Structure formats: C-alpha cells, structure tokens
C-alpha cells in the first residue's frame, strides 16, 4: 500500500479533516501515543462511507477512536488510517424519551442535557469520560447500571466496512464488553436510547451525586485512561491492587494513583511502555499473591 496515494485520495474526496503523521497523544485522555500514519475526522456519516470505500480500495489497515478515554496507544503509533469520530458525528435528537445521538457526542454532555429535561436512565454515566460510541463499544457502566440497560439499537460500522443498524440483543452485552470487541469487531456511529420521564430535580440530583462521587474518589489532576483493569468480581481491581501495596508504584513517568489504585496516571511525560510495564507488574503481583488473573479494561492498540 502506498500511503501517499491513499492520503491524496482522501484529501481529493474532501471527506473531512485529513492529517498525516498525527501524534495520537493529542487525541487520548492519557496524553500518550505515537503518530497515526493518517488521521481522518469525517465531516458526517456520508463522508465516513466515502472514507471507508477509499480505505478498502487501497487495502489499508484502519481503526476508529472516539474521545480516546479508554485507550493506551503504542509509542510507535498506529499503522494505516485512524478514523476519529468527533465534530460532524455528534448530532442529537430527543423526542418522547427516545434519544438518537451520534457516536462522537461526548457522553458527559449527553447525560447533562437529558437530565435537565428530567429524562432518567443515564445518571450512572455522570463523570464517565469518552464518547457515546465508545460507551456502547465498552458497555460503559457504574453505580449498578450500564449502557445495555437503556440502549434500543445502534448504527454500527463493522470491520469489513459495512454499516448496519443492530438491536440491543445483537450486541451481546456483558460486563464492560460487547460483540463489537470480540465476534464482530466494529464501532458505534449512532445510538438510540429509551429514557424514562421523571421528576427533573430528582434526576439532576442523582446525576450530581454520581459526579461528586467520581471527583472525590478518582484522580483528575493528571491525565489517565480511566479504570485500567476490569473488576474480577466479586473482587474489585482497585482494592486488590491497594492490598498488594502497589499504590504509588512508579515506572518512568507513569504511576499507580495514590487516590485510586485502578488508575494509572501520566505524571511526568510518561511513555506507553511505562504504563505497560506497570500493567504487567500488577498482573504478576496479583496472580502471585491472590491467584487472580487481572484483565485490562483499557484497550491497548498500535504497533508493537
């Protein structure tokens, strides 16, 4: 594949913003990550379809990202095309409790907007960073609820470049996962949620309570990717890491947060390798001490 010709074709098609060798540290909440060969921010879904046709024509590798809140990108970057769902993929329509929203729409913003209308069902997501598309992909959740409880259907771009509306059951949701991560890799372009009309003050108060809990218990002073490990229920990842004496553990510029042990913070220009080394140390330590195999919630992507 000749990247220069692919780049030229994308630019000629005017699919949106197209950048070459774009550092992905600029597009992740952890502020870590080498360059994407090509980064495309499609202007809308039609332009995304054009982008996919061009990518397929060239046989290029590709992947999509949202707001980069659950990603650890390799220091060597990502081969091929990275599609960023952002402006142009952030439409919102609310009618009779049915919310249709673009995959690039910020989840925190969506939760705030619907709560002010007294629409209940997404309060659990108060303070969860990332995009709506990423939340569907990961089945984001907290406070005993998750995306699967309120999603009706989703518009998905699958790995082969096809697009399809699928219903909740077809996504095979489970704890912090969906079929989009496993059997049918894909990304969420749009989501439709069913919310319930309730007392506005009650909904807003519950949302604020959830936001306050996050602020009090999670580190916001330094960049992070959110929770690093899945909870190996009935245990909790943060508690296991803390009990193992690993709070504050440092490799290079990365550190296990002293506030919440399931967060790794970028304290001083950390590299992806620093974070990976901490992840491996945690896995090894917890396995030796507790016999529990820790699995990452953060998605680790890019060149080896």
Q: Are 139 and 176 in contact (CB under 8 A)?
A: yes
227 is known as an active-site residue = yes
Q: Which of 19, 176, 184, 200 is catalytic?
A: 176
Q: Residue 42 to residues 7, 24, 165, 266: CA-CA distances in angstroms?
A: 14, 17, 19, 29
CB 158 within 8 A of CB 186: yes
**What's phi and psi for 58, nearest 5 deg?**
-90, -10
Length of the chain: 304
Residue of 60, 224, 227, 257 with catalytic role: 227
For residue 73, give both structure tokens. 């990108």
Annotated catalytic residue, options 22, 123, 190, 297: 297
Which residues touch 13 (CB under 8 Å, ≥6 apart)? Answer: 47, 50, 51, 54
Does residue 297 carry a catalytic annotation? Answer: yes
Rounded-to-integer distance, Cα 164 and Cα 203, Å: 33
Catalytic residues: 176, 227, 297
């Amino acid at each position: 594949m000749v990247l220069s010709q692919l780049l030229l074709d994308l630019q000629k098609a005017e699919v949106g913003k197209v950048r070459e060798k774009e550092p992905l540290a600029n597009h992740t909440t952890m502020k870590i990550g080498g360059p994407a060969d090509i980064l495309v921010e499609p202007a809308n879904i039609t332009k995304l379809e054009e982008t996919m046709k061009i990518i397929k024509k060239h046989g290029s590798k590709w992947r999509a990202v949202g707001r980069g809140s659950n990603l650890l990108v390799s220091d060597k970057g990502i081969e091929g095309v990275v599609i960023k769902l952002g402006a142009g993929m952030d439409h919102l329509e609310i009618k009779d409790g049915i919310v249709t929203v673009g995959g690039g729409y910020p989840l925190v913003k969506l939760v705030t907007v619907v709560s002010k209308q007294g629409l209940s069902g997404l309060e659990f997501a108060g303070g969860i960073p990332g995009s709506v598309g990423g939340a569907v992909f990961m089945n984001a959740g907290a406070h005993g609820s998750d995306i699967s409880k309120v999603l009706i259907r989703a518009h998905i771009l699958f790995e082969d470049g096809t697009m399809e509306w699928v219903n909740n059951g077809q996504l095979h949701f489970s704890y912090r996962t969906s079929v989009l991560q496993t059997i049918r890799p894909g990304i969420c372009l749009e989501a439709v949620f069913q919310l319930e009309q309730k007392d506005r003050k009650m909904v807003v108060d519950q949302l604020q309570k959830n936001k306050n809990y996050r602020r009090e218990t999670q580190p916001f002073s330094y960049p992070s990717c959110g929770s690093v490990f899945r909870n190996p229920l009935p245990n909790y990842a943060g508690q296991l890491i803390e009990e193992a004496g690993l709070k504050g553990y440092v490799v290079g510029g990365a550190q296990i947060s002293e506030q919440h042990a399931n967060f790794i913070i970028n304290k001083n220009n950390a590299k992806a390798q620093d974070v990976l080394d901490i992840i491996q140390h945690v896995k090894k330590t917890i396995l030796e001490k507790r016999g529990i195999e820790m699995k990452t919630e953060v998605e680790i992507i890019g060149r080896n």
